[in-house]
Structure 1
Amino acid sequence: MDSHFIAYMYRLRYIERWSLMRNTTRENVAEHSYHVALLAHMLCEIGNRLFGRSLNADRAAAMALFHDATEVFTGDIPTPVKHHNPRMLGNFRELEAMAAERLLGMVPPELKEAYAPFVMGPAAAAAPPAEAGPGSPDSPGHAAAEAAGGEPGGRGDNAAAAGTGAVGTGGPDANSGSPSANDDGAELMKMLKAADLLDAYIKCLSELSSGNREFAVAKGQIEQSLAQLAMPEVNWFLTNMAPSFSKTLDELSEDGE
């Protein structure tokens, strides 16, 4: 039987984000996932090389590539809709879990152990593999999600609404001694949440630079959420890299000469 897994992953390019907002430039979930992967990898390397951390940048990038994978079935539901009331959010989490299970079921058996943690959500991807068969109730996705106090398949929300992403932020600082695998997983999840927020912030900068005031409030909300993270990696990125996103191609070229 053919495996439809990657074919479905490619269909993320048809799922549009920011559906409640007037956009000058459309954005889909595939490009968002790629951008979050770039940012997550960058934040980890900033942490490693400037702030003495020991983070697995490659794993963070892989987590980011799959962090919205279930939206190929659910679509990108705006955070204000999901969080309208606890019952609605609970129903959505159940739908997400079902979508993750369906997607995981398309992975060839020989590859399922490798991809189960990523398909089942960021908490699962950040945790060390469990001693269980892939796809079972004790599989890596289920075990890690439950250990994190969440549900299988739970994944980050659209970061636009004041940063209410579902990616966890707990865990001790990676500088405090030699972190265990769980400690490192918590730190990677923090980096993923920060990268998700940064991508939304960059989207706001792009829209505002195009004269679209629709994103002015969202930009202010995301700035507050980024500040609340209190992460030196994020602050370094905002100071040294984010300003370039407001420049034109001519301005970028002049600065590079």
Structure 2
Amino acid sequence: MYHDASEVLTGDLPTPVKYFNSQIAQEYKAIEKIAQQKLVDMVPDELRDIFEPLIDEHHYSEEEQSIVKQADALCAYLKCLEELSAGNNEFLLAKGRLEKTLASRRSAEMDYFMQVFVPSFQLSLDEIKPGFAAVRFWPGGGCALPGQNILKRKQYRDQQDADHHHQYGKGHAYFDKIAK
């Protein structure tokens, strides 16, 4: 999948502008469709049937569309965290809006990513270099230096797994992925 591939031709239009009103949104969708078709037309004939469903988002399944929407919102959210960490408070409102969007698009995989990986996006270069003992705060209280409170972290992960098992049931894609 090449999500937003058409933006190499159209550029990226900020979401508040894109959805300012229904007429702008409708026209922009038409422009995106034209750009997607131009991209498909640029692919060699023998590869066109392979690339068309990857470029044209109308070929995506509902599950793929959902994942793409989550990833899109997550990418914008991470950009907000980056800007806020750099002292750019212009992204404060966008961060709040995106937190609501992410909360409305929750999944076990998204929860896992938010809990495990997102905190590292707020670290400075000094904090991510090898050997730096960054303090971590864990949901439910407490903090840990690397190598300490391992039991607390394991208990937290076990509780998360139990919560996901209760919420999604055995055999859910979340468990299949971590089992591998």
For residues 224 and 102 of structure 1, the distance between their equivalents in structure 2, rounded to whole angstroms, comes to 35
2:111 matches 1:235: yes
For residues 42 and 65 of structure 2, the distance between their equivalents in structure 1, rounded to whole angstroms, comes to 25
For residues 205 and 69 of structure 1, the distance between their equivalents in structure 2, rounded to whole angstroms, comes to 24
For residues 88 and 195 of structure 1, the distance between their equivalents in structure 2, rounded to whole angstroms, comes to 23
* Matching residue of 2:37: 101
For residues 118 and 93 of structure 1, the distance between their equivalents in structure 2, rounded to whole angstroms, comes to 17
* Matching residue of 1:197: 73
Residue 222 of structure 1 and its aligned partner are, at CA, apart by 0.5
Moved over 4 A (4+): none
* Matching residue of 1:245: 121
Pairs within 5 Å for 1:53-92: 63=1, 66-92=2-28
* Matching residue of 1:114: 50
Structure ranking higher in helix proportion:
2
Pairs within 5 Å for 1:179-194: 185-194=61-70
Residue 255 of structure 1 and its aligned partner are, at CA, apart by 4.3
For residues 21 and 125 of structure 2, the distance between their equivalents in structure 1, rounded to whole angstroms, comes to 43
For residues 200 and 108 of structure 1, the distance between their equivalents in structure 2, rounded to whole angstroms, comes to 33
Would the alpha carbon gap of residues 97 and 237 (structure 1) be closer, same or farther in structure 2, given more than 3 Å must change?
Answer: same
For residues 113 and 226 of structure 1, the distance between their equivalents in structure 2, rounded to whole angstroms, comes to 34
* 2:110 maps to amino acid: V
* Matching residue of 2:168: none
For residues 125 and 23 of structure 2, the distance between their equivalents in structure 1, rounded to whole angstroms, comes to 46
2:122 matches 1:211: no
For residues 34 and 126 of structure 2, the distance between their equivalents in structure 1, rounded to whole angstroms, comes to 47
For residues 30 and 81 of structure 2, the distance between their equivalents in structure 1, rounded to whole angstroms, comes to 34
Q: What percentage of aligned pairs have identical amino acids?
A: 41
For residues 249 and 79 of structure 1, the distance between their equivalents in structure 2, rounded to whole angstroms, comes to 30
Query: Where does structure 2 lack aligned partners over 5 or more consecutive residues?
Result: 135-145, 147-180
Q: Please tell me whether Structure 1 or Structure 2 has the larger radius of gyration of its CA atoms.
A: 2
For residues 239 and 72 of structure 1, the distance between their equivalents in structure 2, rounded to whole angstroms, comes to 32
**Number of equivalenced pairs:** 133
Residue 116 of structure 1 and its aligned partner are, at CA, apart by 0.4
User: For residues 194-228 of structure 1, what are the alpha-carbon distances to aligned partners after superposition, in whole Å with 9 as ceiling and x for unaligned?
Assistant: 11111111111111111110101111111111111
Residue 188 of structure 1 and its aligned partner are, at CA, apart by 2.4
* Matching residue of 2:170: none
* 1:92 maps to amino acid: Y
For residues 226 and 255 of structure 1, the distance between their equivalents in structure 2, rounded to whole angstroms, comes to 30
For residues 133 and 74 of structure 2, the distance between their equivalents in structure 1, rounded to whole angstroms, comes to 23
